[in-house]
Amino acid sequence: MENRKISIVIVDDHPIVIEGLRTMLNSQPFFNVTETFTSGSEVINFIRSHTVDIIFLDITLPDTNGTELCREIKAISQETSVIMFSNRSERSIIIQSIQNGASGYILKNTSIDELVICIKGALSGDIVFCNETKQIISRPAHNILPIPRLTKREKQILQMVAQGKTSNRIAEELFLSPLTVDTHRKNLLQKFHAKNSTELINLAVQQHMIEE
């Protein structure tokens, strides 16, 4: 550890979680929670002009998905270690987070002792997990599919499909032809390995790509 304090930023949409984590981390002599945010856009603006050692990042945010935000953060500040901090324990989300550049994945029921160990490991360049996350990723990956990578248009149409809109309605709102919308819908079914729109929506909810 260096003599200077480690700068930490917390990104979570629940103020009570932020306050609890801030209190725990600031109780440690070498840690300093410099800022907290409740949305992805706020932290992106912050790291463009500030140096941050560690970002604790939730998966569920009001304006974005944490796994995608992690990718954006690393593109702007490669030296910042992003540790996902979430209640979500799906193996696919954990793996996707690491693929997107996260330095670790910790569940919110983790003890302060584990948090400290994980922070030190991440600062040393390790990929870190709490004990429970280690158990999850060590299980055999039976029938687990990776989170599909969608284009901006596919994400847009996925949201509209989830809202129950028909291809004709989607085409009108997006100024596209119904044929083009149908092509996007077929691509979405293929990417999610879904048989129909109902299964598509269920899988997208499970992957936290749309809200229930």
Per-residue confidence (pLDDT) for residue 194, from 0 to 100: 84
Q: Give the N- to C-terminal CA distance of the chain in Å, as an integer.
A: 43
Per-residue confidence (pLDDT) for residue 37, from 0 to 100: 97
The mean pLDDT value for 187-194 works out to 88
How far is it, in rounded angstroms, from Cα 10 to Cα 13? 10
Report whether pLDDT(205) > 60: yes
Per-residue confidence (pLDDT) for residue 204, from 0 to 100: 84
21-39 confidence digits (pLDDT tens): 999 999 999 999 999 999 9
Report whether pLDDT(1) > 50: no
Report whether pLDDT(2) > 60: no
Tokens of residue 139, six digits: 């299980």
- What burial letters (b/e) apply to 29-67, b meaning 16+ CB within 10 Å? eebebebbbbebebbbebbeeeebbbbbbbbebeebbbb
Per-residue confidence (pLDDT) for residue 143, from 0 to 100: 52
Task: Tell me the pLDDT of the chain averaged across its residues.
Answer: 90
* Cβ contact 48:23 at 8 Å: no
Place of tokens 């100024």: 175
101-137 confidence digits (pLDDT tens): 999 999 999 999 999 999 999 999 999 999 999 988 8
* Cβ contact 40:11 at 8 Å: yes
Short-list 65, 131, 130, CA closest to 97: 65
The mean pLDDT value for 71-94 works out to 93
40-53 confidence digits (pLDDT tens): 999 999 999 999 99
131-189 confidence digits (pLDDT tens): 999 988 877 655 556 678 889 999 999 999 988 899 999 999 999 999 999 999 999 99
How far is it, in rounded angstroms, from Cα 121 to Cα 196? 44
